[in-house]
Structure 1
């Protein structure tokens, strides 16, 4: 039973190698994306984390920033 699943009538080597390649690729893509996100979050925090109250008010009053903030509050 197990041998039939592994061999798949001679196509097992192709199927399992394709499956493992896909699984490894998706896992690597997930970790690379997660790493890039954390890097960008740190850059954003270092650049905009130290805004004083006046600059924050000015940023909120701009139309494009209001649109961005309204879209992110729905998440």
Structure 2
């Protein structure tokens, strides 16, 4: 119901607190637009990813209980 109402007024994303990680943040995408560029056969495959931001400079993407993991470190270039 909330997602439907958000879409009706043009909201594409909902940010909410994580139930699993105290202080964590979750995002719900309400439009398929970010996924339209995905090539077949992956376009219709369901996957669950978790994005973890570890300040000050680490970002971790994990897929389906650590089956695939990508970590990125960002340096201050300023």
TM-score between the two structures when normalised by the length of structure 1: 0.21
Higher helix proportion: 1
TM-score between the two structures when normalised by the length of structure 2: 0.21
Looking at CA atoms only, which structure, 1 or 2, has the larger radius of gyration?
A: 1
Which has the higher relative contact order, 1 or 2, with Cα contacts under 8 A spaced 6 or more apart? 2
